[in-house]
């Protein structure tokens, strides 16, 4: 199965700092800040601290969709959190999200600032506040929530499981890749069967579609882990059709660019403070290196 030696777990596990993997230098088994670090605050009601990973993209897509739909109160400042450099362990960030994961957001639209963490919770907060992208029909609303929480519970298998062992682990372990590839393909089949009879996840375009698209849509579009061929994503034709339809939305295209610090320079808008930034401040326009 593998050339790795057998491993017998000790009675009490102990952390070995820097024990392999792309993110070994920032991984640790304890919570809390590692340094005092203030976060910037802009002029808009919503202050987003994030990176354009799939979990970050969920929120920026929703914010751009709200603005596209005419909800001017959804204006936001988006600040880049470089997780590779440990920005998520700064004291101000930990005060917003004690779990030190992006995205994190402050809602300053009311008399008392409200912190928000966990992408699904942020999306639900915004959808309810603006009365948008959440079905009004009680049955469809429940369906939307079911799929939103399905995504929140399923994505760790895709990202932390399959993505880690296929793309980031220091050694390729057949058992681990097989285990998580099997689960990822099962989840794609769940989606494909549902989308065979539905244009969207819950009757109408909603936060459930945005959340699932950020992970599984981008996967079948060939944007995650360079694994499209390995997982034979083209065989999930209903998922691909749905993903392409959502990908064509202008707000989705903008949302995917926000807090992006990788990829082609024209797709990177590291900070977003105004709608005009998409026209003037992408990395190819300001002339700075990736």
Question: What is the chain's pLDDT, residue by residue, as a tens digit (290 residues)?
Answer: 456 778 899 999 999 887 767 777 788 899 999 999 999 999 999 999 999 999 999 999 999 999 999 999 999 999 999 999 999 999 999 999 999 999 999 999 999 999 999 999 999 999 999 999 999 999 999 999 999 999 999 999 999 999 999 999 999 999 999 999 999 999 999 999 999 999 999 999 999 999 999 999 999 999 999 999 999 999 999 999 999 999 999 999 999 999 999 999 999 999 999 999 999 999 999 976 54
26 within domain boundaries: no
CATH number at residue 230: 1.20.1050.10
Supply the pTM of this predicted model.
0.96
Q: How far is CA 23 from CA 39, 160, 170, 193, in A?
A: 23, 12, 10, 35
Q: 149 in a domain, yes or no? A: yes
Of residues 63, 195, 217, 203, the one with CA closest to residue 145 = 203
- From CA 272, how far away is CA 282, in angstroms rounded? 10
Specify if 157 maps to a domain: yes
Q: Tell me whether residue 106 is in a domain.
A: no
Residue for token pair 């976060």: 39
H/E stretch holding 139 reads helix 138-156
Number of domains comprising the chain: 1
Burial class of residue 10 in the structure, from the number of CB atoms within 10 Å of its CB (0-12 exposed, 13-18 middle, 19+ buried): exposed
Which range marks the domain in which residue 171 is found? Answer: 138-249
Q: How many Cβ atoms from other residues are within 10 Å of residue 1's Cβ? A: 7
Q: What span, in angstroms and rounded, lies between the C-alpha atoms of 184 and 228? A: 12
Interatomic CA distance for residues 22 and 83, integer angstroms: 12
Any idea which residue has 């030190």 for tokens?
Answer: 100
Which residues 6+ apart lie within 8 Å of 73 measured at CB?
45, 109, 130
Does residue 153 fall inside a structural domain? yes
User: What is the pLDDT at residue 191?
Assistant: 98
Nearest C-alpha neighbor of 209 from the set 254, 148, 270, 258: 148
Q: What pLDDT does residue 237 have?
A: 98
- Is position 81 within any domain? no
Is residue 62 situated within a structural domain?
no
């Amino acid at each position: 199965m593998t050339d790795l030696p057998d491993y017998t777990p000790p009675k009490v596990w102990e952390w070995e700092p820097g024990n392999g993997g792309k993110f070994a230098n920032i991984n640790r088994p304890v919570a809390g800040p590692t340094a005092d670090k203030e976060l910037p605050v802009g002029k808009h009601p919503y202050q987003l601290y994030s990176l354009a990973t799939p979990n970050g993209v969920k929120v920026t897509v929703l914010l751009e969709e709200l603005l596209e739909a005419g909800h001017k109160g959804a204006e936001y400042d988006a600040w880049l959190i470089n997780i590779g450099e440990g920005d998520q362990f700064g004291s101000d960030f930990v005060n917003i999200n004690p779990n030190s994961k992006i995205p994190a957001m402050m809602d300053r639209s009311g008399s008392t600032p409200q912190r928000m963490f966990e992408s699904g919770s942020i999306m639900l907060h915004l959808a309810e506040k603006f009365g948008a992208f959440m079905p009004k029909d009680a049955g469809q609303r429940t369906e939307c929530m079911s799929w939103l929480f399905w995504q929140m519970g399923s994505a760790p298998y895709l990202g932390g499981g399959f993505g880690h062992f296929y793309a980031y682990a220091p050694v390729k372990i057949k058992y681990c890749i097989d285990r998580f590839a099997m689960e990822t393909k099962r989840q794609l089949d769940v989606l494909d069967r549902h989308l065979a009879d539905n244009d969207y996840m819950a009757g109408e375009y909603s936060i459930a579609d945005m959340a699932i698209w950020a992970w599984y849509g981008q996967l079948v579009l060939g944007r995650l882990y360079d694994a499209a061929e390995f997982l034979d994503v083209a065989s999930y034709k209903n998922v691909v059709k749905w993903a392409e339809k959502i990908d064509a939305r202008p707000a989705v295209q903008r949302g995917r660019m926000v807090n992006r610090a990788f990829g082609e320079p024209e797709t990177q808008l590291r900070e977003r403070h105004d709608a005009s930034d998409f026209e003037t401040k992408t990395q190819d326009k300001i002339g700075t290196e990736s």
